Amino acid sequence: MLKTENIRNIVFMGHSGSGKTSLAETMLFESGSISRKGTVVDGTTVSDYTSIERERGSSIFSTMMHVHWRNNKINMIDTPGSDDFVGEVISALKVADTALMVVNAAHGIEVGTEILWEYTENFHTPCVFVFNQIDHEKSNYQETLEQAINRFGSKVIPFQYPVNEGIGFNAIIDALRMVMYVFPSGGGKPIKEQIPVNELEKAKDLHNTIVEAAAENDETLMDRYFELGTLSEEELTKGLRIALANQQIFPVFCVSATSNMGTGRLMGFLNDVAPSPADRPAARLEDGGTLSPNASDPNTTIFTFKTTTEPQVGMVSYFKVYNGTIKNGDDLINMDHQHQERINQLFVTEGKNRTAVNSIIAGDLGVVVKLKDTHTNETMTTKGCKYEIEKIKWPESRIRTAVVPPSKNDMEKLIKALQQIHEEDPTLILEQNAQFKQLIIHGQGQLHLDIIKYRIETVNGIHMEFIKPKIAYMETITKSADEMYRHKKQSGGAGQFGEVHMRIEPYYEGMPDPAGLTVRSKEVEDLDWGGHLAFYWCIVGGTVDAKYINAIKKGIMSKMNAGPLTGSQCQNIRVSVYDGKMHPVDSNDMAFMLASTNAFKNAFKNANPQILEPIYELTVLCNDAVMGDVMGDLQTRRASITGMGADGHYQKITAKVPQAEMYQYSSTLRAITQGKAKFSRHFLEYAPVPPDVQKKLIAEHQEEMIDS
């Protein structure tokens, strides 16, 4: 009977082209789970089974598989290598207990590897490096190892190294077991041979390093090591499991996945040494508590880490059991909205194929279909249980675009299709911007958005066009201005009369009361779009009745919401209403609202108005060869470089860049660096636009007003 201690949850990570999918396929074949090994080129792998992945020849979605190896069950999640699909990686890391960082030995440590490493650090995930494609003619194991140690530290320890890498590769020296594996032509099960004399000293040095690392975490093992100078295989396994689980070591193995060389030994190591869910720290809960897996606990707790939608099936939910045992027919409560869910049928999965099971224990991964109202990042528990697993924190978007369907009739269908994709991919953010009357989507990169477009057009039959999204500029003022406006209407029917005198000033917290005015009341409102409106009522002598305060403020707010310069929202302004006139018959709310709107608009234009634009902090990782091109491109985008320096063996550039200049940056960066650079961004501040840009924006707005 399977126990939590016999489960290994492994996530495959690596830069695009490192060979993750091929490695997973070979592991399935090596374990006997499949009888014939597929290839990425032929589109026949268990992972990458969707039509779009087979068409592109690369992973876009994470794929869950499993193998049985000796007494253990090894769950494997193959993830995309492109950072555009980072949501798939993060959701897999959430439930994994070990990461396999697959590295192309012909390319070394690439920028994608560096970024993925940061995610493993954020999740405190044990990591095993797998140097793949050792049989490639340009393979350079030693250089790749040195790069890994320089970037990730001295805890990176080689457990294996190739004897004759490149064309003709067929032998690996295993410093853990002190043996040389020699593979037959075409790969497969190796022959064990003694380590050659000329390699023996190197292998012994590595073996001693491994033994010392294993002994460091246990006093008993350390005493045994000092006493005997070595450890038994059982003692070594125990020490290494502790060291790996606590990220004290990051072992390095070498393989040729496509030729099936070294894969079986890697699986043996994962089976013997990789931590089970029971060996990992307790899961964090939303309330700050923790939860350790216990299959016999009646308080069953599962967490949905991924959701997909399939034709004729509907919602497919991938989950991890964090506590207890889930069974067919169980009723669980969704902790987000307290709705009950019936678990009708449980499955384990092998790519697109599912096998029905009766139960799934704590620590294991599974699948359930047709849940009514449970989504990615949500916890379900036994009724009365209050456990809620800490939610995944998704990364900020790095790119945005407006989308337009071919007709207004298709808009509703387009929004529904995008919402369904968001359900599967929470890193896609859908924004219906009422201010701009635009449907805007936010994603992780141009490839991310292009794939979404492809899916919408292919699956839903809705053509969609990407257009440049409008920018959320802000308007404010830089000096004080006084203005009055009289609204008077007496032609036909009831008349309208209202006169308002106001002073507007730049607002800042703690500013003194307006000079020369008597403040009767004041309020500072936090605006929905950011910034403040300070409204001061300074009328003395009752020239305007206080009952018109709300109407006057409403008039001001209407123009604050659509500013005088470009129709953008205004912020950080103090308005002091200090005089006016009213009529005993013709004055009403509408008259004073119109009077205050026009008084504010005229005063604003005389107060040295300023357009503000959103500024983002941009971080780019690239190599030395393309740094000049990256810098040159940033200069064309009105960027202000704030920092440059080395980050590992990459160059790191930080800059402040206006959002208006970031459109299609992902595509440009990919083009000028041949895809060997990565970037991230986050909102920093609003800052004044240059005078020439302000003049251009005002002119464009005036043109739009004429056209409309």
Give residue for tokens 């897999």.
92
Residues with Cβ < 8 Å from 181, sequence gap 6 or more? 171, 172, 173, 174, 190, 191, 192, 193, 262, 265
Helix axes 141-152, 111-123, angle to 10 degrees: 40
Whether the predicted pLDDT of 458 surpasses 70: yes
Whether the predicted pLDDT of 348 surpasses 70: yes
Alpha helices, H only, 547-690: 549-561, 589-605, 624-635, 665-673
Could you count the other beta carbons within 10 Å of the beta carbon of residue 411?
16
Tell me the DSSP string of 281-308. Answer: PPEEBTTS-EE---TT-SS-EEEEEEEE
Q: How confident is the model at residue 8 (pLDDT cuts 50, 70, 90)?
A: very high
Give residue for tokens 């920018």.
471
Rounding to the nearest 10 degrees, give the CA dihedral for residues 220, 223, 227, 232: 40
| Three-class HEC string of 444-484 | CCHHHHHHHHHHHHHHCCCCCEEECCCCCCEEEECCCEEEE
Q: Cβ(667)–Cβ(449) under 8 Å?
A: no
3-state secondary structure of 60: coil
Residue of 489, 431, 355, 373 whose CA lies nearest to 365: 355
CATH topology classification for 613-693: Alpha-Beta Plaits (3.30.70)
Q: Cβ(391)–Cβ(342) under 8 Å?
A: no
Could you count the other beta carbons within 10 Å of the beta carbon of residue 281?
11
Whether the predicted pLDDT of 225 surpasses 80: no
Identical fold for domains 399-465 and 613-693, yes or no, is yes
Could you count the other beta carbons within 10 Å of the beta carbon of residue 408?
8
If residue 537 lies in a helix (H) or strand (E), which one and from where to where? Answer: strand 532-537
If residue 384 lies in a helix (H) or strand (E), which one and from where to where? Answer: none
Q: What is the pLDDT of residue 647?
A: 81
Q: Which amino acid is at 57?
A: G
Give residue for tokens 């200049």.
661
Q: Cβ(257)–Cβ(266) under 8 Å?
A: no
Q: What is the pLDDT of residue 491?
A: 67
Q: How confident is the model at residue 510 (pLDDT cuts 50, 70, 90)?
A: very high
Q: How confident is the model at residue 322 (pLDDT cuts 50, 70, 90)?
A: very high
Give residue for tokens 């991230």.
680
User: For the structural domain made of 475-607, what CATH number should be given?
Assistant: 3.30.230.10
The tens digit of pLDDT for each residue in 660-686 reads 999 989 889 989 998 778 888 999 999
Helix axes 197-215, 233-245, angle to 10 degrees: 60
Q: How confident is the model at residue 492 (pLDDT cuts 50, 70, 90)?
A: low
Q: How confident is the model at residue 214 (pLDDT cuts 50, 70, 90)?
A: confident
The rounded percent of the chain whose pLDDT value lies above 90 is: 80
Tell me the DSSP string of 137-195. Answer: TT--HHHHHHHHHHHH-TTEEESEEESS-STT--EEEETTTTEEEEPPTT--SPEEEPP
Q: Cβ(305)–Cβ(39) under 8 Å?
A: no
Q: What is the pLDDT of residue 179?
A: 96
**Residue predicted with more confidence, 598 or 433:** 598
HSE of 94, CA atoms in CB hemisphere, 13 A: 30
Q: Of 3.30.470.20, 3.30.230.70, 3.30.70.870, 3.40.50.2300, which CATH number belongs to 399-465?
A: 3.30.70.870
For the chain, give the number of residues: 708
The tens digit of pLDDT for each residue in 398-457 reads 899 999 988 888 898 999 999 999 999 999 999 998 888 899 999 998 999 999 999 999
Q: Of 3.30.70.890, 2.40.30.10, 3.40.228.10, 3.40.50.2000, which CATH number belongs to 283-381?
A: 2.40.30.10
Q: Cβ(319)–Cβ(303) under 8 Å?
A: yes
Q: Of 3.20.20.70, 3.90.920.10, 3.10.105.10, 3.40.50.300, which CATH number belongs to 4-279?
A: 3.40.50.300
Domain boundaries, the chain: 4-279, 283-381, 399-465, 475-607, 613-693
Give backbone dihedrals phi and psi of 356, rounded to 5 degrees, phi first. Answer: -70, 140
Tell me the Cα Rg of the chain: 32
